[in-house]
Amino acid sequence: MKKVLSFIRPHSALVLLSLLMAVVSVVLTLYVPVLTGRVIDEIVGPGAVQFERIARIMKVMVFIVLITAAAQWVMNVANNRIVCLVSSEVREQAFEKIEILPVSYLDAHSSGDLVSRVIADVDQFADGLLLGFTQFFTGVATILGTLVFMLVTNAGITLVVVLLTPVSLLAARFIAQKTYAMFRMQSEARGEQTALVDEMVANQKVVQAYGQEKNIQGRFDKMNERLRSYSLRAVFFSSITNPVTRFVNSLVYTGVGLTGALCVVRGVMSVGQLSAFLSYANQYTKPFNEISGVVTELQNALACAGRVFELLEAPAQTPDAEAAKELPDNPGSMSLEHVNFSYVPQKKLIQDFNLKVKAGQRVAIVGPTGCGKTTLINLLMRFYDVNSGAIKIEGTDIREVRRHDLRSTFGMVLQDTWLSGGTIRDNIAMGRPEAEEKEIIEAAKRAHAHSFIRRLPRGYDTVIGENGGSLSQGQKQLLCIARVMLCLPPMLILDEATSSIDIRTEARIQEAFHSMMQGRTSFIVAHRLSTIQNADVILVMQDGNVIEQGNHESLLKKGGAYARLYNSQFVLSQADNRADVFVRGKQD
């Protein structure tokens, strides 16, 4: 609740306005029974009804009802504005937090669960908050106001009402404790289910290709059953609130009726006053129904808010150094000094890694799957920080440089492409939004993407959906290459940048890369060794260590791991060629 209040505090003016209108509406609402009692007392008997006095009282009642309606309208407007502002700010902070979370956090949490926290949980939190503002304040004000009016009318009957009140409070407390735990589990189960749905929708082709529909359906059914169970128990505990409080209300009403009737018989109070008191008994007990319902909803809201606050309070990535250093305009040289890194402390990966790269060199990184090639790229881009040692650019430790400045010096094309929803033009110009049309087209031509873009319905203005929509994997990769060619940063990282492109187009793009890499320090991760023969330095990695280092010719002469890897690819390539010739001969 303290955390929730910290978001509400900036809107204290609206909260005070809401409270003021709640008090006004409650006081005026409670004054109406007094007037009603007076009207009853003016009906003395047959032929003795004071119509003129009743008419005056009725005019006052109409005026009060209109003022009460206006106060409630202002209160509701203020409450809605508070809730909309708070939920908007919570979502904004949650999204900002996601952008500064370390990659390790995102790797450990499913995207569906994060989406559920930012969207569904914030919605539930906002709904509970609105209900709390709308009914909680009014309910509390009604209870206090009613007690004051009843004390003024008859202190003895008021004592009967107060003595029965704790029963309702104890019932509400018991229910609140039960419902919080159930709503918490319901929210977590909903997040797991959202994560599964998100994962399956994104990878439906793979699911169908491997015939896993029944298996996935089974997993979904188990999650759905768990969600149903938690929801049913949460709804059960929350639904008994109303019957319990209504039972207590009936006790209060009965006590007031019996005690009041005895007072009327003894002449202590009039029939009109008893009528007002019975009305107050209803007014007094009604908020307990509402507040109990609000408490139940607040348990759900607070359970969802707890999941959102867990995200907001997750440790952010190490902040940039306060006295951050600046890199030169065209950095080139780089060194890795005694670098140690592992994703999990128990499992060592990169150990005592040392490397010096001169400005303008092309460094190729090869090795078997899991040897640490992509991990090295993650360290260069500072998606992860080294456990020990240092990575330096032009003699400056990259941890002393702002991440934005570091990453703006690199142009990166990965095997896994990513395109945002928008036009082709917007996706190419992502790194340079201010680029002119002719520059975008020229970059697309160099990436050999211009020809297929022209064939699209609206060319560069064609809107593509999430992650490229209906574009092929090769077309997506060409757009990512065009994006880098437009930026032309001083350093390049190419991680299987042409893995989804046909051989003929790849040869042309390799020529474009060759000209683009002139004078630029480049890191190239490749499985096809034919694409890196012109690299200045080839690093052969195994189990996080560089086991061989040199150029293509020197490594072949050495006859070590690189030579074996190259020869195995050459033999496979020769076998594929012979198979192609055999098939063509059969067809002829």
Residue ranges covered by each domain of the chain: 2-190+233-312, 334-561
Q: What pLDDT is stored for residue 298 in this prediction?
A: 74
Whole-angstrom Cα distance, residue 104 to residue 570?
38
Q: In whole angstroms, what is the distance from residue 66 CA to residue 70 CA?
A: 6
**Among 181, 377, 168, which residue's Cα sits nearest to residue 281?**
168
Q: How far apart are CA 169 and CA 182, in angstroms?
A: 20
Q: State the number of CA atoms in the 13 A half-sphere of 12 facing the CB.
A: 4
Joined together, the tokens standing for residue 528 give: 């096809």
37, 275 contact by CB (below 8 A)? yes
- Specify the pLDDT at position 469: 67
The yes-or-no verdict on residue 531 having pLDDT over 60 is yes
Topology, domain 2-190+233-312? ABC transporter transmembrane region fold (1.20.1560)
Q: Where are the alpha helices (DSSP H) in 101-212?
A: 103-108, 111-116, 122-131, 137-153, 155-202, 204-209
pLDDT value of residue 296: 66
Residue type, 400: E
- Angle in degrees, CA 486, 487, 488, rounded to 5: 95
Would you say the CATH fold of 334-561 matches that of 2-190+233-312? no
pLDDT band of residue 293 (cuts 50, 70, 90) is low
> Count of CB atoms within 10 A of residue 51's CB?
9
CA 123, 127, 130: angle at the middle one, nearest 5? 135
Is pLDDT of 433 > 50?
Answer: yes
Identify the band that residue 282 occupies on the pLDDT scale cut at 50, 70 and 90: confident
Residue type, 32: V
Residue pair 26/284 in contact by the 8 Å Cβ criterion: no
DSSP state of 318: P
pLDDT per residue as tens digits for the range 47-106: 667 778 888 888 988 999 999 999 989 988 888 888 888 888 888 888 888 888 888 888
C-alpha to C-alpha distance for 517 and 493, rounded to whole angstroms: 10
For 191-235, what is each residue's pLDDT tens digit?
788 888 878 877 777 777 777 888 888 888 988 888 888 888 887
Name beta bridge partners: 357.
334
pLDDT value of residue 63: 92
Structure tokens at 9: 């505090």
Q: Which of 289-293, 339-343, 434-438, 522-526 has the lowest mean pLDDT?
A: 289-293
**pTM for this predicted structure:** 0.63
In terms of Cα–Cα distance, which of 18, 277, 295, 296 is closest to 141? Answer: 18
Token couple for 168? 């309702």
Residue 489: alpha-carbon gap to chain centroid: 32
The residue type at 43: I
The pLDDT tens digits of the residues spanning 160-186 come to 777 777 776 677 677 766 777 777 788
Task: Flag whether pLDDT at 571 surpasses 60.
Answer: no
pLDDT of residue 370: 73
What distance in Å separates the CA atoms of residue 521 and residue 335, rounded to the nearest whole number? 12
What tokens appear for 257 in the block? Answer: 């009726």
- What pLDDT is attached to residue 570? 62
Residues in the chain, overall count: 588
The Cα–Cα gap between 122 and 87 comes to 6
pLDDT at 67: 93
Mean pLDDT confidence for 360-370: 83
Judge whether residue 343 has pLDDT over 90. no
Query: How sure is the predictor about 45, in pLDDT bands with cuts at 50, 70 and 90?
Result: low
The pLDDT value recorded for residue 70 is: 94
Query: What number is the average pLDDT over the span 336-357?
Result: 83
Identity at 553, one-letter amino acid code: E
Q: Are 37 and 11 in contact (CB under 8 A)?
A: no
CA 60/CA 205 separation, integer angstroms: 71
Burial 311-347 (b: 16+ CB within 10 A, else e): beeeeebeeeeeeeeebeeebbebbbeebebbeeeee
Residue 564: pLDDT over 90: no
pLDDT at 264 over 60: yes
Of the pLDDT bands very low, low, confident and very high (cuts 50, 70, 90), residue 500 is: low
Topology of domain 334-561 in CATH is Rossmann fold (3.40.50)
Within 8 A by CB and 6+ apart from 380, the residues are: 334, 391, 398, 410, 493, 523
Residue with tokens 């440790």: 315
